[in-house]
Chains A and B, each alone.
Chain A
Amino acid sequence: MIELVSQSRCVECNICVRVCPTNVFDATPDGVPVIARQSDCQTCFLCEAYCPADALFVAADAHNHVEVNEQQLIADDLLGSYRRSLGWAPGGSPAVLHDKAHVLRLIAGPGVIG
């Protein structure tokens, strides 16, 4: 679930408030949005993709709150990592251009069905 709105990185654009599909954030009068309804977070990571400041962090756990440490996330190069992997960060090109899913399907093993 969403665990961090970085106070130092946030540029107060409120894009996360607008784009979150499950309306997790609230805008605030003094600027930095707050995580108002954390349990509604569906852990889709899209707020990170749209954040222009790499100020958000969605932890892997979809069901339970976990503590995160901003300095550690920065040290581990995790802030903004999803945006970069999509090629949406400044200077990036869409990762879609490098998509080899069609090649993978030809050589992949058994899918999960039935």
Chain B
Amino acid sequence: MDRSALELSTDVLVIGGGPAGTWAAWNAVTAGASVILVDKGYVGSSGATAPSGTGVWVIPPTDEARTKARTAREALGGYLSDHDWMNRVLDKTWHNMDLVEAWGYPFPREDGTAVKRGLQGPEYMKLMRNVVKRAGVRILDQSPALEMLVDGDGTVAGARGVQRQDDRPWTIRAGAVVIASGGCAFLSKALGCNNNTGDGYLFAAEAGGELTGMEFSNQYAVSTAFGSVTKTAHYSWATFTNEAGEDLDAVHDGHHSTSTIARALLQGPVYAQLTRAQGRPEIQAFLRFAQPNFFLPLDRSGINPFTQRFPVTLTLEGTVRGTGGIRLTDGSCATTVPGLYAAGDAATRQLICGGFTGGGSHNAAWAMSSGSWAGEGAARFARSLGEQHASRSVSGAGGAAAADPDAYIGGVQNEVFPLDKNLFRTESGLRSSLGTLDGLWRSLHHRAPQASARDAQRSREAAALVATARWAYASALERRETRGMHRRVDFPTLDPLQQHYQIASGLDTIAIRADAGAPPVATREPALAR
């Protein structure tokens, strides 16, 4: 990279342009802040939502409906969700879905009324791009961030990155930064997830931030054995069979059991067929409209999923569907680092989901709610600093990078992909994996020089994958029970004494400690100490 750096200054910098990032950008600019939104890819196609379709956790504001909504998944989540946070997410999502309609999203209508229960990713994210642009947000596409900038007090003051299509670095001074870079699916090619490599976790930790709930990082999704489409909703119409054609009998407690499918996969191939919709053309048509992309890999392989069985696998979605992430400290989605805010999958979703999310619904609600609060909070923080923020003396907080990214990526995947390591967890297995991952971390280079923007991006992605896997397994080791998606073969039941959040902190040495509880939903006054 020999081109001169792009140098910019703004009140609020948002990193990541999926739902959480675009909601953060819109709320910050609407609050009067100048806003730059950077994305590794393209705002509109980047992230887990854009290629998907999802239900949204949008519940009418009646006591009965809200009570039912709060309690429905409490047991699945291991009783770690927080009622105050659920209530405010339900309120915010109800309000935001009205905004989405006002902005022109083409909701289906029934009896003249918009049915606002789901969002199709391509349509939703195309709309959000236009909405933030119209509001005055400056978008930098194809511009992955590489590290935070911090001032002498340790306050986050911007970020550095690269424009990968122009092969030049960028530096953006900011009064506050929102990390909305998504979760981490470890480059598994789960649908839309390959930009989601845990970069935001690494940036936050390098600036002194903390993670929480990282043991809830082992969500696997059913997909075709050859494809990328990890949309699981339609498998509610499926029968799963083994090579011999025997029904896996995977339904337990009213749900197909991932662990039953996983155990069968450890024995041999597993197949699915949408038998419950066989011979029902109207249902088949509904299914196609509901998730057109579910059928793409099947249609393109000449498979009729209603009449033929097809091979399936379980693809790791890590913290994209898991609930671990950056620890929040108050209702504005502030973090333990002044000037740093987190939203969407980058932030923990334990507050509304505990240790489990079945799919997009809660995650979509969380993204638009936490994004809104983080954008407002960041705008308020930047305003409290005034004009002088751009003249602060700053330095890069980034460190570890891989000189040979592919080797590190493969090394991490070897520890986190296998079902018998990450889905069925044991003390000895976790210790063995952690030993390997710690070795990878120690051998990373500090600020390895990079020949190109792509190399710079990949080297940091590899470091983020190593760091994320270590926080995940260190947290999993410490939680000696089975709760939410975290499943310990050696501790197969829920232990009431471990009904608490776990905080992970540190890079070279990782410390795990129990959290006292959910952060308050009220917002502290920003930067009073300054």
Contacts and interface: CB of A to CB of B under 8 A. Distances in A.
Interface of A: 17-23, 37, 40, 42-46, 49-50, 58-64, 78, 81-82, 85-86, 88, 93-105, 107-114
Contacts of B276: 109
Contact of A81 (B47, B76, B257, B299): B299
A97 B106 contact: yes
B7 interface: no
Residue among B47, B165, B221, B252 with the most chain A CB within 10 A?
B165
Nearest to B125: A46
B195 A21 contact: yes
B4 interface: no
Contact of A99 (B118, B227, B255, B296): B118
B158 to A, nearest CB: 23
7 contacts: A21-B192, A43-B229, A61-B226, A61-B227, A86-B120, A94-B106, A98-B289
B44 A112 contact: no
A108 B256 CA distance: 12
Contact of A21 (B46, B232, B236, B297): B46
Contacts of B289: 95, 98-100
Contacts of A109: 236-237, 276
B429 interface: no
Contacts of B226: 60-64
B51 interface: yes
B235 A82 contact: no
Contacts of A64: 226
Contacts of B253: 114
Contacts of A42: 189, 191-195, 228
Contacts of B191: 42-44
Residue among A20, A99, A108 with the most chain B CB within 10 A?
A99
B155 interface: no
Nearest to A26: B165
B442 interface: no
B11 interface: no
B192 A104 contact: no
The 7 closest A-B pairs by CB, nearest first: A21-B41, A43-B228, A60-B297, A62-B228, A44-B51, A42-B194, A85-B292
B292 to A, nearest CB: 4
A12 B228 CA distance: 28
A85 B120 CA distance: 12
A82 B165 CA distance: 26
A49 B299 CA distance: 16
Residue among B117, B194, B228, B253 with the most chain A CB within 10 A?
B228
Contacts of A21: 40-42, 45-47, 50, 192, 194-195
Interface in B372-428: none
B233 A111 contact: yes
Contact of B292 (A20, A86, A108): A86
Nearest to B109: A97
Contacts of B122: 46, 49, 86, 88
Given A98-B289, A99-B289, 13 more contacts: A23-B142, A23-B164, A43-B228, A46-B51, A61-B226, A95-B120, A96-B123, A100-B286, A102-B115, A104-B286, A107-B283, A108-B237, A112-B221
A105 B236 CA distance: 9
Contacts of B237: 108-109
Residue among A44, A60, A109, A111 with the most chain B CB within 10 A?
A44
B290 interface: yes
A108 to B, nearest CB: 4
Nearest to B189: A62
A111 B189 contact: no
B286 A102 contact: no
Contact of A113 (B53, B108, B193, B255): B255
Interface in B188-217: 189, 191-195
B232 A112 contact: yes
B356 interface: yes
Interface in B289-344: 289-293, 295-301
B524 interface: no
Nearest to A68: B300
Contact of B50 (A46, A93, A114): A46
A79 B107 CA distance: 27
Nearest to A78: B300
Nearest to B50: A46
Contact of A114 (B142, B252, B291): B252
Contacts of B31: none
Given A21-B41, A23-B165, A113-B358, A45 B236 contact: no
B222 interface: yes
Interface in B487-523: none
Contacts of B140: none
A37 B142 CA distance: 15
